[in-house]
Structure 1
Amino acid sequence: MKMRLAVFLLLAAAMSAGGKSVKRSVVRNKLLLISFDGFRWDYDQDVDTPHLDQLRKEGVTAKHITPPMLTMTAPSHFTTITGRWVEDHGVVHNIMFNATTNSKILYKQALKRSEWWDNGVLPLWITAQNQGLKTGSVYFPGGGVKYGGQMVNRALVERYDLPDDDEVEWQQNVDEVLKWFVDDDFDLVTLYYGEPDNVGHAKGPDHPKRKEIIAQIDRTIGYLREQIAQRHLTDHLNVIITSDHGMTTVKKRPLVDEIILNKYVNLFKLVNFEILDFGGFGILTPRPGKEEEVFNALSNAPNLTVYKTSEMPESFHLGKSQRLPPIVVIADLGFNLNSRFIVYVNKGDHGYHNTEMDMKTIFRAFGPNFKKDFLSEPFDSVHIYPLMCKLLEIQPAPHNGSLSVTEGFLLPSGTTAPHVGGDAAAAARVSQHLLVFLLLLMAAAL
């Protein structure tokens, strides 16, 4: 009698479970971080973007995020992947330079130079690998070098001849990273695209070509989600989509007087080293004993602000840098810094103060650990790092971010999004029916 009662209770419990959602056991999900270079926070507002619009309903959207000072590709991306301010991680420009030797190495060449990136701060790839995870990078800045002699498990580095706007190649990159997740069981992969930055520079943020690229990005996101579903990763892969900086229209003659710094300070006589002619951010090393003279002279130049590096506002998180030269110049929004004469051809640019709305950028996130239809207030990009560590269930390296800023994006611990993929749901139903069948056989035998 007692045996029959026990079987009956088990049978009742199994059958009652059929009418309730079953919580999935807690497992570490995978993470894909995607960056679209130069995607300003409002770029999707004047373009038909059905897939980005759908993400608003099915994931987390921030009103915008604020990149670090500097609003440039290499410094900003390295802040995202390390959670450190620029003064801490040391990547202070897109150009690798040595102010003593006057050497300058352009961005794509510097992508393979460990000495520019490896400054004692560990990026997320290495921190995750040191805790037993597998990581990869496709073109993401900083992904192709050694940190303390350790490489990212698998990394592709951007080439000079790589087309930035080839939609077929974009989809191939999606296929590649998803293959790493499925076939090679990677835990973290970062994926970088060079648009809409290039079109923003060449045509300006208001040009129709920029809108075409945003539509292409939207199609790529649609393709990504389609492939995630086809490869049965929906319940196991979290995705974060963000960027490094925004873009603004460069003011040109004859409407304005462009800045030519040599009008205000004799660069040949007073300056040993400079990086100018690259948009809104410039650096200079005066000759010995000439720092005050250079600073005072540049203080009289219009449409810019000059700083002594040692006296920069603390909010910049730049002043403690050992790499920045003594003088930093930041142009007003839309002005570019010409050195001796105007050689600048870009119609759009960045590098301006990160409080400017044109420098703000995007944040989207979706996957099994993220809330749905969640709108976040703006936040600093430095806080993405602890969020990624939380998703990967690893101990973060020292960082300047705070999980309290982004933890509210996530479902409560131990739960996942209510959607259950077809395979998982079918397996759950089969297991449940099999249990009921076995219990019925046991009851009949008794």
Structure 2
Amino acid sequence: MKVRLELFLVATAVLTVASNPLRTTPERKKLLLISFDGFRWDYDQDVDTPNLDQLVQDGVKAKYITPPMLTMTGPSHFTTITGRWVEDHEVVHNIMFDAKTNLKVPYKQTLKRSEWWDNGALPLWITAQNQGLKTASFFYPGGGVKYKGQAVNRALVETYGHPDDNETEWRQNIDTVMSWFSEEDFHLVTLYYGEPDNVGHAKGPDHQDRKEIIKQIDRTIGYLMEAITRHHLTDTLNVIITSDHGMTRVKKRPEVDEIVLNKYLNLLKLTSFEILDYGGFGILTPRPGKEQEVFDALSNAPNLTVYKKNELPDSFHLSKSQRLPPIVVVADLGFNLNSRFIIYVNKGDHGYHNGEMDMKTIFRAFGPDFKKNFLSEPFDSIHIYPLMCKLLQIEAEPNNGSLAVTEELLLHSGGSECRRTSGVLMMSILLVVFAVL
């Protein structure tokens, strides 16, 4: 009788626990986000890339991802790290500008200018820090400034003229980042490489030098895998590898008649501000009362599309921007915008419509929380942000992404597997107890 009473009490206790399942939380993993600037989605298809190929087996791959419109380095990287469309985070160009004062600051100099980046959309570093995590940015765009007065815990900023293709330095950077994770307990690190963007601009996306850089990137991925093992991070570090935009070949004379906008309107007379001569994306501020005249004149120019800002397609997610000037010009793929003279020298470029396949980019991910040998359908880069928040187990800031798009890449969703397993175990115990009773 005493044994039955004890068993009955055990059964009652188990039932009580079963009715209030344990809400266990899996151990928090660390996250490394790597961006290879200008890595087009298909760059690994004409080059032998054994390490990138191995990642397909060891983790997940998206067929490609679509960057935001604007397909430029600053705007696109900031969309990834904030989960916000460009019209929301307001980093609307690589060049920092003020259309009222005609201020124009080159890209590398903007990397330390908080007023260009700090517009209310908090990047992931700051969100994670506000929830108790340690974060670092290694050359990642936007990482070297303050947001609401708060700096990233550790930030290295790329300087003007810094070489982007030094393979020895690439490996040293990986060693540095691995030590941050293993020796200083950082939770989130973003690591940026300026290739293959530079070689794509200088030589074009089809040049042999671009293929050599992809091989170098592949060797670097192999070194990364070795470093993760060497620092005993295999079971604790998730890695996402992606990019900001693709690259296309620039069409030049005598192949095509290049665009010179001053042939179609008097820029000095009709506009007070412009950023042209910068690839396939241009912005202009007409002089008072001249907006329609500027629009009509540019509508007659070939190989481009001109928009009034308030009439931009909803899919661009640009029309609500306060910074963007009233007139936006987007060149057809491969054409570059010249203002008054043909001074453009790049053989490859980006900045074109994000629907063009040449603007699509890569996504790879691996680590303890990712599935293996999983091929994902394409998705927009804006959805990477909620995925990173999920991996870090932090509450996301308001964003335009959706975890529903990327959650299928994960092995499980939080502690739900633990709760299901606990429930099955409890039912098994109950069956045994009642069989004895």
Query: Does TM, scored on the shorter chain, surpass 0.5?
Result: yes
Distance 1:382 1:401 in 2: 5
Q: Secondary structure at the match of 1:254?
A: coil
TM-score by length of 1: 0.87
Q: Secondary structure at the match of 1:246?
A: coil
1:330 counterpart residue number: 330
Encode CA deviations 1:212-249: one digit per residue, 9 max, x unaligned: 00000000000000000011000000000000000000
1:81 counterpart residue number: 81
Aligned residue type for 1:237 = L
1:27 Cα deviation (Å)? 0.4
Q: Secondary structure at the match of 1:284?
A: strand
1:209 counterpart residue number: 209
1:267 counterpart residue number: 267
1:232 counterpart residue number: 232
Distance 1:262 1:305 in 2: 16
1:90 Cα deviation (Å)? 0.4
1:45 counterpart residue number: 45
Distance 1:265 1:55 in 2: 51
1:395 counterpart residue number: 395
TM-score by length of 2: 0.89
Distance 2:180 2:415 in 1: 26
1:118 counterpart residue number: 118
**Structure 1 residues 96-135: aligned runs within 5 Å:** 96-135=96-135
**Structure 1 residues 377-392: aligned runs within 5 Å:** 377-392=377-392
Distance 2:199 2:412 in 1: 40
2:424 counterpart residue number: none
Aligned residue type for 1:184 = E
Encode CA deviations 1:87-122: one digit per residue, 9 max, x unaligned: 000000000000000010000000000000000110
Paired positions, count = 396
Q: Secondary structure at the match of 1:272?
A: strand
Is residue 170 from structure 1 mapped to residue 170 from structure 2 by the alignment?
Answer: yes
Q: Which 5+ residue runs of structure 2 have no aligned equivalent?
A: 3-23, 417-437
Aligned residue type for 1:165 = D
1:26 Cα deviation (Å)? 2.1
**Structure 1 residues 11-410: aligned runs within 5 Å:** 26-410=26-410
Distance 1:402 1:321 in 2: 22
Distance 2:85 2:119 in 1: 13
Q: Secondary structure at the match of 1:31?
A: strand
Kept in 2: contact 1:310–1:326 (CA 8 A): yes
1:169 Cα deviation (Å)? 0.6
Encode CA deviations 1:21-44: one digit per residue, 9 max, x unaligned: xxx982000000000000000000
1:413 Cα deviation (Å)? 3.5
Q: Secondary structure at the match of 2:77?
A: helix
1:162 Cα deviation (Å)? 1.2
Kept in 2: contact 1:369–1:415 (CA 8 A): no
Distance 1:281 1:247 in 2: 14
1:183 Cα deviation (Å)? 1.0
Distance 1:45 1:151 in 2: 39
Q: Which 5+ residue runs of structure 1 have no aligned equivalent?
A: 3-23, 417-446
1:415 Cα deviation (Å)? 8.2
Q: Secondary structure at the match of 1:168?
A: helix
Distance 1:257 1:157 in 2: 40
Encode CA deviations 1:284-341: one digit per residue, 9 max, x unaligned: 0000100000000000000000000011011100000000000000000000000001
Kept in 1: contact 2:97–2:103 (CA 8 A): yes
Kept in 1: contact 2:407–2:413 (CA 8 A): no
1:412 Cα deviation (Å)? 1.4
Aligned residue type for 1:363 = F
